[in-house]
Chain A
Amino acid sequence: MAERRGATVELREVTKRYGDTVAVDHLSLTAPAGRITVLIGPSGCGKTTSLRMVNRLIEPTSGEILIDGHNVLQEDPTQLRRRIGYVIQQVGLFPHRTIGQNVATVPQLLGWPDARIRARVDELLSLIGFDPARMRDRYPAQLSGGERQRVGVARAMAAEPPLMLMDEPFGAVDPIVRERLQNEFLQLQRTQGITVVFVTHDIDEAIKLGDRVAIMRTGKLVQFAPPAELLAHPADDFVARFVGSDRGLKRLSLLTVGGAELDPPIDPSRLDGAPVLSPAMSLRDALAEMLASETQTGMVRDGDRYLGVLTLSHIGRLLRSEQPK
């Protein structure tokens, strides 16, 4: 929808040392504009340190960090942070300010006129599915964990930053809420066109949200690729183990029924008990439904149109063809 207004973030040979320990070791990567770049790895791999160096909550020992070509190390850290959205796992809403005031934080710091702040707050509250009139004047303590997390995202987006840094933002909510927040966030990110650098330790989250995923280990970048590529061609055993032995199934969640080859339609009466699948459905969900049915096949329909029949062998063939190695 919106023109891409996200910034490009480039890390060049960034290193962070604490005494003799190297937390981040010559990390170079580019987070493309308007995309979600996920940093993932086991604890202590340096992903959070890397993220916090971008808004200079941590100062790199050496290397350069560029946002749209400008070296952040030459900017005033406070001014820099006001232009970058920041969301953390524990959210850190201000308990003494209302939801509206929380969202207004950065616009206020930037000295926006009151009317513009009010309009922006209401716009954002609506964007995250809140009724502004009902929620604006509540305090964070009156919200559920999921609602607080939404407000945290809205607060980070308030001043229309070209870049958001998110550190395990959905890590502290239960799985059902997490999935909903992820979906909402994806939608929001796509419409707003913001560049996002996102830290997580959850590989499923990385695959779901990431346009590109950077796998890190002991401060080093091991592989940096789109999720499908990561699942199809893990760079080494570490990555293969990290993405999990079920990576074939995970790849299916990135593919849709519409992308698979189908058998031509047959008489529906011969498909008694077969699940009806839509082209937009993920192959992983389709597979689950097919396995549970008697026929082990699925009838693919796009609304009223009967497109064909999906069989297990089609799914297997697709997986193999996407994996030339």
Chain B
Amino acid sequence: MTPGEPLIRWDWLLSHAGEIGQRVGEHLELTLIAVAVGFLIAFLLSLAALRVPRLYGPISWTTGILYTIPSLALFALLIPYTGLSLLTAEIGLVSYTLLILIRNIVAGVRGVPAEVREAARGMGYTDRQILWRVELPLALAVIFAGIRIATITTIGLVTVTALIGQGGMGYFILLGIQLFFSTALIVGALGSVILAVLADGSLVLVQRALTPWTHTP
């Protein structure tokens, strides 16, 4: 930081408002793709694990390993194959969502009370109807808890993808580090946190709208 310069230069903020908006857009896009693709994969793997319980161990183990690889290392490993691309970024981001999403989907479905399942079967629901009309709706609250954690984690991780040229709020963090410019650093870091808080809040609202039975007086 240059001596004598203020922590935040408001004039810079104003003059770069357009670019900040653009980076916010990139950040959200990267997050949305990662969580959506991650959810799709996690959902299919969860269905497999629910149908064939002995698959759950290997699935959980593999996604657990993926989760523990440091993100920078993962990007470095992928670059020889997929380059400094959106694909590289998303492979990494998606990998980190899987563990938490699968755990919550499976736990949510398994947590459905046995008597509810028994009643459904006894009234003539097919297995498929039990899954779609009873188990998944009742698992929604737990599944959403997983989506919220996956989303917040991804929003944090997306800042790292700036290193492989994917923009987002990480762009300002890099800029701040390179130029010893605190304003950019703060915009990047604080921006990412604010995005996470807002995304989490919106997901809570969506969940409440989807599960009216969990909050009736």
Are B211 and A86 within 8 A (Cβ)? no
A55 to B126, CA, bound (A): 14
A139 to B122, CA, bound (A): 21
Partner of B122, one of A57, A93, A94, A141: A57
Type the 1/0 row for B114-138, where 1 means its CB is closer than 8 Å to any CB of A.
0111111111111001000010011
Give B140's nearest chain A residue, CB to CB. Answer: A96
- Whether A228 sits at the interface, judged by CB under 8 Å, is no
Type the 1/0 row for B4-40, where 1 means its CB is closer than 8 Å to any CB of A.
0000000000000000000000000000000000000
Are B138 and A91 within 8 A (Cβ)? no
Report the minimal beta-carbon distance from A295 to chain B, rounded to whole angstroms: 52
A78 to B212, CA, bound (A): 30
Report the minimal beta-carbon distance from B115 to chain A, rounded to whole angstroms: 4
- Whether A223 sits at the interface, judged by CB under 8 Å, is no
A95 to B126, CA, bound (A): 19
A82 to B119, CA, bound (A): 11
Are B121 and A82 within 8 A (Cβ)? no
Known: A95-B213, A139-B216. A81 touches B119 (CB 8 A): no
Report the minimal beta-carbon distance from B142 to chain A, rounded to whole angstroms: 13
> Which A residues touch B125, using CB under 8 A?
78, 109
> Which B residues touch A78, using CB under 8 A?
124-126
Are B124 and A109 within 8 A (Cβ)? yes
Interface centre among B113, B124, B212, B217 (most CB of A within 10 A): B124
Report the minimal beta-carbon distance from B112 to chain A, rounded to whole angstroms: 9
A86 to B134, CA, bound (A): 17
Considering the complex, which residues of chain A in the window 81-125 have a beta carbon less than 8 Å from any beta carbon of chain B?
81-82, 86, 88, 90-97, 105-106, 109
Give A77's nearest chain B residue, CB to CB. Answer: B124
Are A94 and B120 within 8 A (Cβ)? yes
- Whether A187 sits at the interface, judged by CB under 8 Å, is no
A274 to B126, CA, bound (A): 62
A90 to B122, CA, bound (A): 13
Partner of A142, one of B123, B126, B138, B216: B216
Give A86's nearest chain B residue, CB to CB. Answer: B122
Are A57 and B121 within 8 A (Cβ)? yes
Interface centre among A55, A94, A96 (most CB of B within 10 A): A96
Partner of B115, one of A55, A82, A91, A97: A91
A93 to B118, CA, bound (A): 10
> Which B residues touch A155, using CB under 8 A?
123
Considering the complex, which residues of chain B in the window 148-193 have a beta carbon less than 8 Å from any beta carbon of chain A?
none
A57 to B212, CA, bound (A): 32
A113 to B124, CA, bound (A): 18
Type the 1/0 row for B27-62, where 1 means its CB is closer than 8 Å to any CB of A.
000000000000000000000000000000000000
Partner of B124, one of A81, A88, A95, A141: A81
Known: A78-B124, A141-B216. A92 touches B119 (CB 8 A): yes
Give A52's nearest chain B residue, CB to CB. Answer: B122
Give A89's nearest chain B residue, CB to CB. Answer: B115
- Whether A323 sits at the interface, judged by CB under 8 Å, is no
A317 to B136, CA, bound (A): 64
Partner of A94, one of B116, B126, B212: B116
A81 to B216, CA, bound (A): 32
Are B124 and A96 within 8 A (Cβ)? no
Type the 1/0 row for B197-217, where 1 means its CB is closer than 8 Å to any CB of A.
000000000000001110011
Report the minimal beta-carbon distance from A272 to chain B, rounded to whole angstroms: 56
Considering the complex, which residues of chain A in the window 146-205 have a beta carbon less than 8 Å from any beta carbon of chain B?
152, 155-156, 165
Interface centre among B122, B212, B213 (most CB of A within 10 A): B122
> Which B residues touch A152, using CB under 8 A?
119
Give B116's nearest chain A residue, CB to CB. Answer: A92
Are B122 and A95 within 8 A (Cβ)? no
Partner of B120, one of A79, A92, A138: A92
Residues of A within 8 A of B (CB): 55, 57, 78-82, 86, 88, 90-97, 105-106, 109, 138-139, 141-142, 152, 155-156, 165
Please give me the 3 A-B residue pairs with the lowest Cβ-Cβ distance, nearest first: A92-B119, A82-B124, A90-B115
Instruction: List, sorted by A's number, 15 A–B pairs whose CB atoms are closer than 8 Å.
Output: A57-B121, A78-B124, A90-B113, A91-B119, A92-B115, A92-B117, A92-B118, A95-B116, A95-B138, A95-B213, A106-B124, A139-B212, A142-B216, A142-B217, A152-B119
